[in-house]
Amino acid sequence: MIGATTSGELRAHNRVRLLRAVHDCGATRTRSQLTRDLRLARGTASVLVAGLAEDELLHEEPAREHARGRPTQVPGPHPRGPLALAVDVREDAWELAACELGGRTETLDLRPHDGTPEGVLRPLGEAVAAHRRRLGHRVVGLGVAFAGPVRHGGLVDIAHLGWRSVDVPRLLGPDVPALVVGNDTAFAALAEARRGRLQGVRVGVHLHVDFDLGGVLVVDGRPLGGASGTGAEFGHMPLTGGDRPCPCGAIGCWSMDVGANALLRHVGLAYGGGRGRAQAERVLAASEEAVAANARALGRGIAALVNAHDPEVVTLSGHGVELRERAGKALLAACEPRLMAIRRDHPPRIEGSALGWRGALVGGMESVFDAFLTPECVEMWRENRPDQGRDTPERQNVMNSTLKG
């Protein structure tokens, strides 16, 4: 294998390949299937699984359905195995979740906030530190999604909250685990590529609609972050011909016409600063005119992106799913005439996300496991975990999550 020059290096490489395969399939494939997928010898796979179980990284359960004879085993997360913490910081609240190898997530905390950097990040840092103390060595990292550009080093700008170059690692404090900070749309796009409707898609566009709109190009399963990591900002392109000043500093941004803020403005309600989610949801449910206006603006912008990038699929998350469901005809009527003729012959699919509002959390989880699933980090886990013996966990312990203690 590339990079493996000794039997020990090859074994370490194959351990990570197997863990990655279990994670990517959602812990649904049998050991035999994984053995074939990875082109491993049956004996090699047995040794690898046994070693990973001993290191409390995997645990096998019998498949729910199997032929007569010896039950088929399905490798999955160990009940004392690694956990990724993930946070979705929206403009009015944050949600903290723990995620197992394989992708199952469980919400640990959900709180509103006042929109200030200190009011958001210091309580969040305290909550993360408390859960890390409770979960101990199992926590291998923290992925945090923000509704704005994220520059190298964890500097975050959220225009609608007035955040400018906020130092996220400093305000979270020293008691958080290995940290990955990302844009919520980029994380949602990563999740869609791993576990949603962009799986196997070579070129796609993902659009996330919350209070405003973010979007990113996804190539071969990876969101394109740009030179400084701030590339998931399609919402700040002048795609709809507007001339309103945007809090980001530009004029005529697409996001001024799509999202909860635009819904509120359409019916004359106050907007901005993370206010009005409940009111916006009522508008979304009741005002056909406001929803159609949002959908038309969304469709016009999608046409411009399709002409520029030639995606196979355009996926929508957040309120974008509801806009497509409630006003799909208005969306397409605004999109199709603006497509180049060659695009109209074979337009891309426009689909709602398979993950709903969970994409940013799932993407944060994926970013943590991307960092963890390396030979170096897996070996560090083996060396540093507490010695809890080599007992085999009972089925009851595995099936009932230990995430909440």
**Number of domains present in the structure of the chain:** 3
Residues 218 and 293 in one domain: yes
- DSSP letters for 144-211: EEESS-EETTTEEEEGGGTEEEEEHHHHH-TTS-SEEEEEHHHHHHHHHHHHSTTTT-SEEEEEEESS
Task: Kindly tell me the burial class for residue 337, based on how many C-beta atoms sit within 10 Å of its own C-beta (0-12, 13-18, 19 or more).
Answer: exposed
Is 2 inside a domain boundary? no
CATH of the domain at 49: 1.10.10.10
Element (H, E) at 110: strand 105-112
Residues 258 and 321 in one domain: yes
Judged against a pLDDT cut of 70, whether residue 1 lies above it is answered with: no
User: Using one digit for the tens of pLDDT, what is the confidence trace for 92-142?
Assistant: 999 999 999 999 999 999 999 999 999 999 999 999 999 999 999 999 999
Is 326 inside a domain boundary? yes
Question: 363-395: b or e for each residue (b if 16 or more CB lie within 10 Å)?
Answer: bbbbbbbbbbbebebbeebeeebeeeeeeeeee
Q: What is the pLDDT of residue 229?
A: 86
Please state, in angstroms and rounded to a whole number, the distance separating the CA atoms of residues 108 and 340.
47
Kindly state the tokens that stand for 117: 């950097």
Residue count of the chain: 405
User: Using one digit for the tens of pLDDT, what is the confidence trace for 40-66?
Assistant: 999 999 999 999 999 999 999 998 765
Residues 203 and 311 in one domain: yes
Residue 55 belongs to domain spanning: 7-77
Among 29, 58, 77, identify where a domain stops: 77
- Per the listing, tokens 């399963």 go with 221
Residues 181 and 47 in one domain: no
Residues 232 and 278 in one domain: yes
Q: What is the pLDDT of residue 228?
A: 87
Confidence band (pLDDT; 50, 70, 90) for 399? very low
Judged against a pLDDT cut of 80, whether residue 70 lies above it is answered with: no
Q: What is the pLDDT of residue 405?
A: 44
Q: What is the mean pLDDT of the chain?
A: 92
Name which of 26-40, 56-70, 111-125, 388-402 the model is least confident about. Answer: 388-402
Residues 274 and 126 in one domain: no
Confidence band (pLDDT; 50, 70, 90) for 388? low
Contact 38, 21 (CB under 8 A): yes
Q: What would the 3-class secondary structure string for 320-362 be?
A: HHHHHHHHHHHHHHHHHHHCCHHHHHCCCEEEECCCHHHHHHH
Judged against a pLDDT cut of 50, whether residue 291 lies above it is answered with: yes
Judged against a pLDDT cut of 80, whether residue 395 lies above it is answered with: no
- For residue 19, give the 3-state DSSP assignment: helix
Segment 247-275 shows an average pLDDT of 95
User: Using one digit for the tens of pLDDT, what is the confidence trace for 140-194?
Assistant: 999 999 999 999 879 999 998 999 999 999 999 999 999 999 999 999 999 999 9
Please state, in angstroms and rounded to a whole number, the distance separating the CA atoms of residues 35 and 310.
37
Residues 255 and 349 in one domain: yes
Predicted TM-score of the model (pTM): 0.92
Please state, in angstroms and rounded to a whole number, the distance separating the CA atoms of residues 305 and 285.
28
Please state, in angstroms and rounded to a whole number, the distance separating the CA atoms of residues 337 and 95.
40
Residues 366 and 341 in one domain: no
Is 392 inside a domain boundary? no
Residues 251 and 348 in one domain: yes
Judged against a pLDDT cut of 60, whether residue 87 lies above it is answered with: yes
Is 404 inside a domain boundary? no
User: Using one digit for the tens of pLDDT, what is the confidence trace for 182-191?
Assistant: 999 999 999 9
Is 394 inside a domain boundary? no
Kindly state the tokens that stand for 218: 């996804």
CATH of the domain at 224: 3.30.420.40
Residues 209 and 261 in one domain: yes
Judged against a pLDDT cut of 90, whether residue 317 lies above it is answered with: yes
Judged against a pLDDT cut of 50, whether residue 398 lies above it is answered with: no
Residues 221 and 283 in one domain: yes
Contact 321, 290 (CB under 8 A): no
Residues 251 and 222 in one domain: yes
